[in-house]
Amino acid sequence: MNIYCKTLFLFAITLLGCNEKKVEGKAKEEVKLKGSIIKSDFGSTPDGSVDLYTIANERGMKVAITNYGGIVQSLMVPDKTGVLLDVVLGFDNIEGYLGEHPYFGAVIGRYGNRIAKGRFTIDSLDYDLATNNGPNHLHGGDKGFDKVIWTAEQSMSGEGFPQLKLRYVSADGEEGYPGQLSVEVVYTLTDDNDLRIDYTARTDKTTHVNLTNHAYFNLAGVDGDDILNHEMKLEASKYTPVDNTLIPTGALAEVADTPFDFSSFTKIAKGIDADDRQIKYGGGYDHNFVLDEPSMALPFVTVRSHESGVIMKAFTTEPGVQFYTGNFLDGTINGKGGVVYGKRSALCLETQHYPDSPNQKDFPSTLLKPGETYRSTTAYRFQVMPSL
C-alpha cells in the first residue's frame, strides 16, 4: 500500500468510527427516561442491608420494590376519583418481611407452587427437597428466592420505561435443587400502567425452574373490604384438580358448570364456599387454571372492583395461573398502617407452569438444561372502569 492509499484508508476508518459514535449518541439522546426511580434504605437483614426502589411512571402510578426477596412492597394505582390506592398487601418495614408471612409480593423460586413429597428424578438421579407444606415442597423450600438478597441495578427499557433489574445466583444444591442457577428478574413500569416482570434463568446442570410473583391484590385498596365482591373474568376452560394436599391428580378438568367457571364476569363470592370437593380441599380457590391462550397481547384475566373502579388485567407467556383467594389469611398479621389482614382480604394470580410438573409427565415440562435460557413474562395492567 503506498502512502496515498494508506492515508485514504485511515481517513475512511476515521469517518466510519465518527459515524458509529454519532449513531450511538443519537440513540441515547432520543430515548429519555419516562418516569423516575428513587432508591432508599429499607433496613438490615441477617444477610445484609437492603434497599427500597420506588419507581414512578409519567401517569402517576408507583411501585416500590425491595431487593430483599424481590418483593413488591406497594403498588399505587389511581382509583375512579383519581386518588392513588395501594392495591397490594405487605408491610411498612423490613421487620415485617423478616417475620412469618405468606410470601407477600415476593419473587418465588426456584419452583413456584408444590412438588409432591418434595421429590423428583432427573436422569435417574433422585432429588430430595424440603417438605415445608404438609407432605409437600412449596415455593422453593425453607429459604426460597423470596428470602434472599438480590443484586439490584436501576435501568431503563429500550422505550425509556424505568426498570429495576434484580439478579441472584442460586448455588448448585441450594434447597436441594441441582445446578447453579443464574436468575434475572426485571421489573418495568410502562406508561400503559403495566407492571411487567421479565424472568430469565440459566443453569449449569439440568434442573427444574418455575418462577412467579406472589403479589396479594385487593383492588379496593389494602385497607378496604375483602375481595369477595371483586368480579373476575378468566380465559381458562380447564383447571388442574387436586388431591387433599393440593397436588394435581394429573387430570385437566372442564370448568363449565363448576364453581371454577369464570368465563364471564363472576363475583368471587359466588363459588368460593360452594359445596364442592375441590373448593373444600382449597378452603376456597387455591387452584391452577390452564390458560386457553397465554399471550402478551390479550389479557388472560380481568379483575374489577366496583367500589374503587380499579380494573386489573394480566398478561402472561406462562401456560397456567394459580388463583389463590387468601384462604389461609386469618387476621393474625398486621400489615401496612396496622391493617389486619383477614381471611380473603386479597387474591393472588401467580402465573406459572402447573404444580408438580416435575412428577407429571403429561404437563408442560419445567426442565431447564445447560445452554438453554428460561424465559417468562407477566404484566399486570391497571385501569379505571370506563363506565364510572
| Residues marked as catalytic | 214, 350
Closest to ligand GLA by CB, 103 vs 120, is 103
Other beta carbons less than 10 A from residue 75's beta carbon: 25
Candidate segments 64-72, 201-209, 271-279, 322-330, binder of ligand GLA by CB under 6 A: 322-330
Residues from 153 through 192 that contact ligand GLA (CB under 6 A): none
Residues from 121 through 150 that contact ligand GLA (CB under 6 A): 138
Closest to ligand GLA by CB, 156 vs 281, is 281
Query: How near is the Cβ of 174 to ligand GLA at its closest, in Å?
Result: 20
Closest to ligand GLA by CB, 79 vs 356, is 356
Question: Which residue has its beta carbon closest to ligand GLA?
Answer: 102
- What mask, x for binding ligand GLA by CB under 6 A, covers residues 336 to 355? ------------x-x-----
Residue 30 has, within 13 A of its CA and on its CB side, a CA count of 9
Query: How near is the Cβ of 37 to ligand GLA at its closest, in Å?
Result: 29
Residues from 234 through 263 that contact ligand GLA (CB under 6 A): 246
Closest to ligand GLA by CB, 74 vs 322, is 322
Closest to ligand GLA by CB, 34 vs 208, is 208
Measured distance CA(187)–CA(162) in Å, rounded: 8
Residues from 277 through 296 that contact ligand GLA (CB under 6 A): 286
Measured distance CA(353)–CA(96) in Å, rounded: 29
Candidate segments 35-43, 219-227, 233-241, 320-328, binder of ligand GLA by CB under 6 A: 320-328
Closest to ligand GLA by CB, 6 vs 280, is 280
Residue with cell 407452587: 113
Specify whether the CB–CB gap between 278 and 255 falls below 8 A. Answer: no
Question: Of 319, 308, 323, 329, whose CA–CA distance to 233 is shortest?
Answer: 323
Who contacts 137 (Cβ-Cβ below 8 Å, separation ≥6)?
A: 111, 114, 115, 117, 118, 129, 130, 131
Measured distance CA(106)–CA(90) in Å, rounded: 10
Query: How near is the Cβ of 181 to ligand GLA at its closest, in Å?
Result: 21
Closest to ligand GLA by CB, 43 vs 102, is 102
Closest to ligand GLA by CB, 9 vs 328, is 328
Query: How near is the Cβ of 319 to ligand GLA at its closest, in Å?
Result: 17
Query: How near is the Cβ of 334 to ligand GLA at its closest, in Å?
Result: 17
Who contacts 263 (Cβ-Cβ below 8 Å, separation ≥6)?
A: 233, 234, 235, 237, 255, 256
Size of the site for ligand GLA (CB under 6 A): 10
367 backbone dihedrals φ, ψ, rounded to 5°: -70, 140
Q: What is the DSSP letter of 220?
A: T
Query: How near is the Cβ of 17 to ligand GLA at its closest, in Å?
Result: 55
Question: Of 278, 286, 289, whose CA–CA distance to 244 is shortest?
Answer: 278
Residues from 7 through 46 that contact ligand GLA (CB under 6 A): none
Measured distance CA(170)–CA(180) in Å, rounded: 6
Q: Which residue of 103, 120, 217, 315 would you call a contact of ligand GLA, by CB under 6 A?
A: 103
The total number of residues shown for the chain amounts to: 388
Query: How near is the Cβ of 210 to ligand GLA at its closest, in Å?
Result: 12
Is 102 a residue that touches ligand GLA (CB under 6 A)? yes
Based on the number of CB atoms within 10 Å of its own CB, is 266 exposed (0-12), middle (13-18) or buried (19 or more)?
middle
Q: Which long-range contacts (CB under 8 A, 24 or more apart) does 179-185 make?
A: 179/203, 179/204, 179/205, 179/206, 179/207, 179/368, 179/370, 180/204, 180/205, 181/110, 181/207, 181/209, 181/368, 183/109, 183/145, 183/211, 185/70, 185/107, 185/150, 185/211
Query: How near is the Cβ of 108 to ligand GLA at its closest, in Å?
Result: 8
Q: Which residue of 170, 322, 352, 378 would you call a contact of ligand GLA, by CB under 6 A?
A: 322
Amino acid at 4: Y
Interface contacts to ligand GLA, rule CB under 6 A: 102-103, 138, 246, 286, 322, 324, 328, 348, 350
